[in-house]
Amino acid sequence: MSRVEEPKEQERPPEFPELETPRLRLRDIRPTDAENFFEFSEDPEMADYFGSSNHYKSEIATRERIKERIEKQIGFKPGRYSWIVESRESEKFLGEVGLHSIDLKNQSGELARGLVAEARGKGFGAEAARAVLDFAFGALGLNRVQAMTRTTNARSQRSLEALGFSREGKLRQYWIVDDEPATVYMYSLLRSEYEKETT
């Protein structure tokens, strides 16, 4: 079958779902998250995720601008779902997880995760990812979820591999992080692999 086809009318993707796991709630972003983001984006370990250290401070100078950006991000936007990760117990802001670059024709999308420093290394990243993967391979009907991580980001690589992702290759100087080229690994997980792991 030729890959050059007339684009078919796409089904409307599901509305934005709130997701729950034993310890976490994945919810829509709210204007009151502005302060959380302001602090979060100052974390140098978040540079890979945001593309720069002090992302909001350097790119968006005022809290008003953060508020505007959050308002734009609320709910489902074509090609992209973003969830705030919070503790179900304390309702504390723990970070953000997203499913981006959604391509319904090719049934693919990309997982991105960033947790606040105190929440890392406790299995929250994997717990949030599993909720998003259930949604991606289930209601959204994707066949492939990819994830990229800098070659130097050992924790993120370990976490993706523990989730069943395979490293497919190296993308040379694929990102610019803090104005420097950064080489990344491309990882992917297929629906057939995920179903095998979860049944």
Ligand X SMILES: CC(C)(COP(=O)(O)OP(=O)(O)OC[C@H]1O[C@@H](n2cnc3c(N)ncnc32)[C@H](O)[C@@H]1OP(=O)(O)O)[C@@H](O)C(=O)NCCC(=O)NCCS
Give the footprint of ligand X on this chain (CB under 6 A): 45-46, 48-49, 95, 112-115, 120-126, 149, 153, 155-156, 158-159, 162
The span from the CA of 178 to the CA of 70, in Å, is 23
- Kindly tell me which of 67 and 120 has the beta carbon lying closer to ligand X: 120
* Residues 137/12, Cβ–Cβ less than 8 Å: no
CB of 194 to ligand X, least distance (A): 16
The span from the CA of 158 to the CA of 170, in Å, is 16
- Kindly tell me which of 57 and 71 has the beta carbon lying closer to ligand X: 57
- Helix, coil or strand: residue 90: coil
- Helix, coil or strand: residue 29: coil
CB of 5 to ligand X, least distance (A): 33
- Kindly tell me which of 158 and 167 has the beta carbon lying closer to ligand X: 158
CB of 4 to ligand X, least distance (A): 33
Token reading at 75:
């709910």
Mention every residue, 6+ apart, whose C-beta is less than 8 A from residue 64. none
CB of 85 to ligand X, least distance (A): 9
- Kindly tell me which of 46 and 70 has the beta carbon lying closer to ligand X: 46
* Residues 136/100, Cβ–Cβ less than 8 Å: no
- Kindly tell me which of 95 and 109 has the beta carbon lying closer to ligand X: 95
Token reading at 196:
């095998």
CB atoms within 10 A of CB 173: 10
- Helix, coil or strand: residue 68: helix
